[in-house]
Structure 1
Amino acid sequence: MKKCMLCVMLLFFAAVGLYAQTTPKYPFPQNVKYLHGNMTSVISNEFVKNWYDNWKKKYLQRCSNSVRPGVDPLSKSLVEAQGFAMVAVAYMGDKDLFDSLYAYYKSKQTNEGCGLMGWKVNGCDNFEDRGSATDGDIDVACALIVADWQWPDAGYKQKAKDLINTLKRMIATCGDKLAVYPGCGNGRPWGGCDETDISYYTPAFFRYFAEVSGDKDWTKLADDTHLIRDAAANSSTGLVPDWQSVGGRAGAGSRKGYFSFDAIRAPYKQTMDFLWHGNEKAEAWAIKLTNWAYGFGVKKLVDGFNLNGTTASSNHNMAAIGSMAVAAMANTPEILDTFAKEVITLRDDYWYSGYLGNLYLLALTGNMWTPEIIAAQVNTNHIKGKLAHKVQLKITRKVNRGLVISGIPQNSMITLTSLSGKKAFSASITDPNTPVNINSLQGGCYVLTIHDQQGKKLEGRMIPVY
């Protein structure tokens, strides 16, 4: 009897341990408010979850020891779908499915593709092209970072680091800028300075690539992303081409030099760098683009435009409209809600919309979070309502970062504390119009507190520094 009880207890604790290992740290939904931009309440968590569940049922295909992302037709898998799928599954907190998708990815890495996934596969085992397409592998690295946030003790951080180090070979040096090689064939990267695709760039995550790998080139690539995009963007519409040179020439050989099925992803990917990190170039571009799109008419938008804004397609779908909706989070609440109301009328009519719809909907509902944003929201909620004195904050980002604080008494004391509670910076404000140099601080989120000369607390809030 005692042996039987011992067995039951061992099985119980084993089950508890297994549950703890698979339970996400941040289960869906989180519904955070990003550090920058506006939020919409038009899209419900139920809508997001239903889209995700329908997508899983429709597209994911079982192999013997893995799961592959089917497209149209379902017999094929593409690396782009692989990356889209893994990011969505990580944010939704489905560890078993994530591991099965990752197993498929690992089984398809090739020497011909520079150690990345052969980008086109027929079924579970047969390659149609063993070369790589870098955008999908970048998204897989993003997904591994999210998986590490969800399951910190499961080894995903090392997996992310290994893949990021492999991806380093896909960074091209183009004068004073870094760019992304679009792919690798026969073991050699191709394209680069004269042939790159702005929709492959994910600057918000590149900053985490730098953090995980310790390689600052990823931070530079994040910053250069906005310069490369702006070099080719139309000055009136903001539209960017599928393919371009780093210098801004639209097109590359026979590749499209207009806004089409690649470039439609760029508004979502670029705007996340504003929503997460406050990048001002991303904000300015997103506002210009969505001002034009709003003026054109949200219900008339399609997935193909010449850069001057004339139509080059007739397809109105989630793949295009959802991305613009994320960009509208940098614009006014009215413009954002107009896009969001259109998004909920759209359906999964093609694999591209199905997969990308997951990502857009997560972003639009505050479910594409980072741990820093979640911590900032918790701390902000804790101090909200306790402080009556309001101050205006401005962070200047020129050669050196400067914190400008107005609306406070002279000789007030400011303190910046890390989320772990460690004091990182303090200074007395003798002149509110003179920036306080905070260039010595590492990027991240900090708790800013302000006290007057008598020690009375005037303000407490979260601020991002990058």
Structure 2
Amino acid sequence: MRRRSILPGLALAAALVSSGALAQSTSRTGGAAPYRYPCAQSITANQAAANEQLRQKYELWRASRLSYEGTHARVKADADFTYFDDDGTEQQLPQGTISEAQGYGMLLAAYMGDRKTFDALEAYRRAHRNAKGATPWVIRADGVVADSGAASDADQDMAFALLVAHRRWGGYTEPLNELLGTIRTHMVVPEGSAHAYLLTAGDMPLQYWEVTFPGSMAPAWYRAFAAHTGDTFWLEVADKSYQYLTSIDLNPSYANAATGLLPDRSRPDGTLDADPESHRFSWNAARAPWRLASDAAWNCESRASSRVDRMNSFFHGGGPGRGPTGIGAVYRTSGAFLDDSLYGGPDRSPWFYGPLTSAAMLSTNQGYRQGMWMETLRMTDFSKYGHELGLLGLMLASGNMHDPLADPRRSVDDFESGNSTRWWTYADSAGSTLATAMVWPAAVGHGVRVTYSVMNWAGFGVTLNENWSAYRALEFWVEGTGSGNPIYLELEDADGELFVHRFVDDFTGWRFASVPLNTTAFPRRRDYQPATINNGMTLTNVRAIRFQPWGRGSFGVDGLVLVP
């Protein structure tokens, strides 16, 4: 390993940009640019701040809503949670598990990159399948199944979470394909039947199927399933979803032409269900904006964006139940705001704000966009069941919930293998030391903590030999301890030239870093170059990156990702 003297190291510190906290350093070098989808952009102007806010919310969710049983984890409901059984009788379910929440939890863990939590949630799902391979809708806290029937939206979300996990880490083909087979066989109307390819409410036999839930339609999910399996069946399911939503629009009883609002449930042909409460945009239909915004943002689907546009226009308007601080829980599809006390209100809940915030990403009204982001962020505290929808809405709206088969970002290392064997350490022979240890939880999931005592040189690096020319920035999480020590991130390019980004550990806790891949953020090293060539940063074959601390202390690293 190359020897570096103490004096050149100090000269380098003086030659580079002035020291400061990591957040200042990333801002000085360009910061995190807003994330983009093919047909949308992050709702927040400060991407780095949004990412830190999401991470903090995720950790709060993990601490508040997860219950561990050995290696299994489930998402628990409130101590006073109740549900209605098939007979319409209200039943108590203190801290039990509803399958939809388990699906939301799996989505959160997969998108946040927390494999240990994801695997624990998936283990619980596999251990509690019903005879058809689906997830029972209601499971008591003691593990007893209270309702063995499945909710289709829950299982499709779990399948989509498995797809996200498989594309991120690999190894989930078998459970993913099994669950897709269950959904196809038991939850989608078969070809040749009336309403073929329409998602049903659950896994009941078709002769008992009477209503469908518009808020369950997830065409973006189905497109991803089609790409994964190569089976056009799922494209038929996506198209049928829009046909079904159109049948609702064509029914004058809903009077939703101006609002785009959908009923909680309807008959499969879009006609009204006998229950008048089902004609309202409320707790079930509220999930539709999130699901449709995904298809509009990822796939530029006009049938989704046109409805989302109408919803945005309605909710950012004036009047009762409208505007970022006025959205409630019960509306007629025509837009009339009903007293939230109908369902035990008042209800200003992340259950509604999260999906509508994801839809607001497509709005041109900047005040509404920012107001929805701030309100959802403020109220999503996981004090109640369903707040997961608040965080999922924030994730989509911030550009962090991407199409798993089309996301252009590339992981360098998220350490979710539970080890750092790819990385090597080095130190001079004059007494400097540096050691690494895996930690969980880190920023998200597993990470690495580096403990060092360096008076000459030492580091923590990985050999890559990767083409980074298509990427604009390297993003990662760093845990500071307030040591005041400088830390250098060194990049060795295709020619063997060394470029280094410097920041100072003058903060505590995890911070998000976005460092542009250019010589403003990574100036060429002045103290030492192993190559005589000097032709600028060449990213066609990045040979290695290294973290090199100075002084005595510790810091953490997690989730290194390249962004285009």
Aligned position for 1:429: none
Number of aligned pairs? 349
Aligned position for 2:347: 315
**Contact persistence 2:130–2:136 (CA under 8 A):** yes
**Contact persistence 1:109–1:115 (CA under 8 A):** yes
> Which amino acid is 1:359 matched to?
L
Partner Cα separation in structure 1 for residue 206 and residue 34 of structure 2: 39
Q: CA deviation at 1:332?
A: 0.9
Q: Residues 289, 344 of structure 1: CA spacing in aligned structure 2 closer, same or farther, 3 A cutoff?
A: same
Aligned position for 1:273: 295
Give unmatched runs, 5+ long, in structure 2: 1-31, 80-93, 250-255, 341-345, 412-466, 473-564
Q: Residues 117, 285 of structure 1: CA spacing in aligned structure 2 closer, same or farther, 3 A cutoff?
A: same
1:159-174 to 2 correspondences below 5 Å:
159-169=175-185, 170-173=187-190
Partner Cα separation in structure 1 for residue 365 and residue 389 of structure 2: 23
SS at match of 1:298: coil
Q: Residues 252, 158 of structure 1: CA spacing in aligned structure 2 closer, same or farther, 3 A cutoff?
A: farther
Q: Residues 52, 376 of structure 1: CA spacing in aligned structure 2 closer, same or farther, 3 A cutoff?
A: closer
Higher helix share: 1
- TM-score normalised according to structure 1 size: 0.69
2:35 is aligned with 1:32: yes
> Which amino acid is 1:329 matched to?
M
1:428-447 to 2 correspondences below 5 Å:
none
Aligned residues with identical type, % of pairs: 26
> Which amino acid is 2:211 matched to?
E
1:18-417 to 2 correspondences below 5 Å:
32-41=35-44, 44-73=50-79, 75-111=95-131, 114-152=132-170, 155-169=171-185, 170-173=187-190, 175=194, 177-185=196-204, 188=205, 192=209, 194-233=210-249, 234-253=256-275, 256-295=278-317, 296-312=322-338, 313=340, 314-332=346-364, 334=366, 335-348=368-381, 350-375=383-408, 382=470
SS at match of 1:129: strand
Partner Cα separation in structure 2 for residue 332 and residue 377 of structure 1: 30
Partner Cα separation in structure 1 for residue 172 and residue 152 of structure 2: 20
**Contact persistence 1:91–1:367 (CA under 8 A):** yes
SS at match of 1:141: helix
Partner Cα separation in structure 2 for residue 342 and residue 38 of structure 1: 19
Give unmatched runs, 5+ long, in structure 1: 1-28, 385-466
Partner Cα separation in structure 1 for residue 277 and residue 123 of structure 2: 33
> Which amino acid is 2:55 matched to?
K
> Which amino acid is 1:262 matched to?
N
Q: Residues 237, 254 of structure 1: CA spacing in aligned structure 2 closer, same or farther, 3 A cutoff?
A: closer
**Contact persistence 2:280–2:332 (CA under 8 A):** yes
Aligned position for 2:438: none
SS at match of 1:61: strand
> Which amino acid is 1:78 matched to?
I
Q: CA deviation at 1:362?
A: 1.2
SS at match of 1:67: strand
**Contact persistence 1:32–1:377 (CA under 8 A):** no
> Which amino acid is 1:86 matched to?
M
SS at match of 2:40: coil
RMSD of aligned C-alpha atoms? 2.7
Give the number of the structure whose alpha-carbon radius of gyration is greater: 2
**Contact persistence 2:349–2:387 (CA under 8 A):** no
Aligned position for 2:539: none
Q: Residues 175, 330 of structure 1: CA spacing in aligned structure 2 closer, same or farther, 3 A cutoff?
A: farther
Aligned position for 2:28: none
